[in-house]
Amino acid sequence: MGVDYLIPDWSILQNPTHLLLTHGHEDHIGAVAHLVKDFPKIIIHAAPFTAALVEKKLAFFDLKAHIEVWHDEPLTLGDLQITPVKVNHSIPQTRGFLITDLKATTPWCLFYISDFKIDLSGQAGTPFDLAALQAQTKDFPVRILLADSTNHLGRDQSSLQEGDLYLPLKNIINQHDGRVFVALFASNIYRLQTLTRIAQETSRTVIPYGRSINTYLHTAQELGLLAEDLPIQEEHFNPLNPKNLVLLSGPQGDLRGALRRVASGESPFKLGAQDAFIFSSKIIPGNERRVHQIINRLAEQKCRIYYPHKYTLHASGHATQEDFATLLKAFAPTDFFPIHGESYLLQEHYDFVAQNFPAIRPYIIHNFDQIEINPDGQLAIQHQEGTHPLFIAGNTILEKEAVSERRKMGTNGVIFLTLEAPAKTAAHYSFLKSLTKRQRKRENAPRILITMRGLPLMLQEKIPLLQNALAQKWMALSPEESTDELIFFTKRWAAQIIGYRPEVVAHFSTTPER
């Protein structure tokens, strides 16, 4: 329905002064530009890579903000001290925050960790330093954990790490003589590292195709997360070169994404049986239909398709139960809040802790709820009435009513009625509210123009019939009846023919007096 993304409605926030960012994924920084528009003085704290991504995003909206690049030094805000903790995730420089209150009667620490996993191999960023976390927190009598639940059910991927993908990907890329296309999350810099390394080793040229993949690639190179001398060709490439390794963003079937454009022939790459497509990403629930559409398109063009259900092509960036249990052992929380997952995942996560870790008190909270830490270290939850998310389309907020109108027009088609009459008469029935029988004479009748959009041709061919029927209906309207009657009449008329009611919009126009 043309909605690009949702952002929270923060109208209940009272002039926030600081924003702390854990990492640069779209679902964590996508709303920052809108927040900066509402609170231009807010100070943003983020690790260098996250800060660079936010800056580019703001520049896209022609905005500037006060961004403090955070090199992991403790930050003091009022009585609170906040220390970043390095964790693993599918984007570099992801941080958890360890928060303590310097003046608390009962010392407490709170570890806030949004998206994370544990990868001790060192092949996907600095390993999560569990020992340091344990050393820093073990003496606090109250230890509160807020942690990501997104992948809590992903038991089957417990041991798959980024480094495990190198060989399977290299084998597939190596065994192909033709072009290889890889669809991936553009922000997954570790995957870009793996793929550019394979390209070097197999003498292929990397072609990053799509705006977002180029943005992430440049930002990673600017910050030294990717080498500068990689075999990457962004422009003036030969699309037909069989040694191309083409990296495509939009693996979720995004409507304007590179993957979709390539699959539907809207790119310089003309596809055929010599091409292989690797899906190095999972499908985010809800996007299945879009992605399968694309896979079908590729299959029809005889491309070879490699998909994660059969091959090892993707490692999740989120903690499994095993990772989570490791974290619980290191941090040993007294209180636990599952966050950042759908409602059933939060409940699963809650149950997992309740059943397996009797020493931990689990809670469920919802957006905008407040956790109060009392002087004795006991917690209390203040429930807040939530607000609904806002729809963003292009640069602006789209109201809920407008989205619903779009849905109706998109689903049922629309009929536009224009009732045109000379100004003198039109003023009389301005429009129709109280027309006497005399005024509703045939010579005063408006000219009815009809336009249809998104409706079957056989209905459009009946426009003259509808014009006649409406003219008769107009003559038969009683003084109490309004133009709305013409709308209802048109809906019923169409439904009798096509079996459903289209949207109908009526408006009036005046013709100059003759």
Instruction: Supply the minimum distance, in Å, between the C-beta of residue 214 and Zn ion.
Output: 20
Instruction: Supply the minimum distance, in Å, between the C-beta of residue 189 and Zn ion.
Output: 12
Measured from the CB atom, the residue of 24 and 446 that comes closer to Zn ion is: 24
Measured from the CB atom, the residue of 7 and 360 that comes closer to Zn ion is: 7
For residue 165, give both structure tokens: 């993908």
* Region from 68-76, 115-123, 327-335, 416-424 binding Zn ion, contact rule CB under 5 A: 115-123
Measured from the CB atom, the residue of 151 and 412 that comes closer to Zn ion is: 151
Give yes or no for residue 115 binding Zn ion (CB under 5 A): yes
Adjacent-strand bridge partners of 19: 44
Instruction: Supply the minimum distance, in Å, between the C-beta of residue 24 and Zn ion.
Output: 8
Measured from the CB atom, the residue of 21 and 248 that comes closer to Zn ion is: 21
Give yes or no for a contact between 54 and 32, defined as CB atoms under 8 angstroms apart. yes
SS3 content of the chain, % helix, strand, coil (to 5): 35, 20, 45
Instruction: Supply the minimum distance, in Å, between the C-beta of residue 104 and Zn ion.
Output: 30
Instruction: Supply the minimum distance, in Å, between the C-beta of residue 185 and Zn ion.
Output: 9
For residue 389, give both structure tokens: 């998310």
Give yes or no for residue 86 binding Zn ion (CB under 5 A): no
Give yes or no for a contact between 118 and 319, defined as CB atoms under 8 angstroms apart. yes
Give yes or no for a contact between 360 and 328, defined as CB atoms under 8 angstroms apart. yes
* Region from 110-118, 156-164, 374-382, 464-472 binding Zn ion, contact rule CB under 5 A: 110-118
For residue 199, give both structure tokens: 């390209």
* Region from 107-115, 217-225, 422-430, 448-456 binding Zn ion, contact rule CB under 5 A: 107-115
CA–CA distance from 184 to each of 105, 250, 316, 489 (Å)?
49, 7, 12, 51
Measured from the CB atom, the residue of 115 and 119 that comes closer to Zn ion is: 115
Give yes or no for a contact between 403 and 168, defined as CB atoms under 8 angstroms apart. no
Instruction: Supply the minimum distance, in Å, between the C-beta of residue 167 and Zn ion.
Output: 26
* Region from 41-49, 111-119, 187-195, 455-463 binding Zn ion, contact rule CB under 5 A: 111-119
Measure the CA–CA gap between 41 and 23, rounded to whole angstroms: 21
Measured from the CB atom, the residue of 25 and 349 that comes closer to Zn ion is: 25
Binding string, residues 25-44; x marks residues near Zn ion by CB under 5 A: x-------------------
Q: What is the DSSP string of 440-487?
A: T-GGGPPEEEEEEESS-HHHHTTHHHHHHHHHHHHHH--TT--THHHH
Instruction: Supply the minimum distance, in Å, between the C-beta of residue 95 and Zn ion.
Output: 11
* Region from 24-32, 118-126, 166-174, 456-464 binding Zn ion, contact rule CB under 5 A: 24-32
> Can you state the angle between helices 211-222 and 189-201, rounded to 10 degrees?
90
Instruction: Supply the minimum distance, in Å, between the C-beta of residue 7 and Zn ion.
Output: 16
Give yes or no for a contact between 426 and 435, defined as CB atoms under 8 angstroms apart. no
Measure the CA–CA gap between 224 and 147, rounded to whole angstroms: 29
Instruction: Supply the minimum distance, in Å, between the C-beta of residue 47 and Zn ion.
Output: 13
Angle at 340 between CA 257 and CA 254, to 5 degrees: 10
Give yes or no for residue 179 binding Zn ion (CB under 5 A): no
Measured from the CB atom, the residue of 87 and 303 that comes closer to Zn ion is: 87
Measure the CA–CA gap between 226 and 133, rounded to whole angstroms: 28
Measured from the CB atom, the residue of 142 and 225 that comes closer to Zn ion is: 225
Measured from the CB atom, the residue of 50 and 267 that comes closer to Zn ion is: 50
Measured from the CB atom, the residue of 152 and 261 that comes closer to Zn ion is: 152
Q: Which residues, including other chains, have CB under 8 Å from residue 422's CB and lie 6 or more apart? A: 510, 511, 512, 513, 514
User: Other CB atoms closer than 10 Å to residue 445's CB: what's the count?
Assistant: 17
Instruction: Supply the minimum distance, in Å, between the C-beta of residue 77 and Zn ion.
Output: 24
* Region from 21-29, 200-208, 319-327, 452-460 binding Zn ion, contact rule CB under 5 A: 21-29
Size of the site for Zn ion (CB under 5 A): 2
CA–CA distance from 390 to each of 26, 201, 320, 403 (Å)?
16, 47, 31, 11
Give yes or no for a contact between 471 and 448, defined as CB atoms under 8 angstroms apart. yes
Which residues contact Zn ion (rule: CB under 5 A)? 25, 115
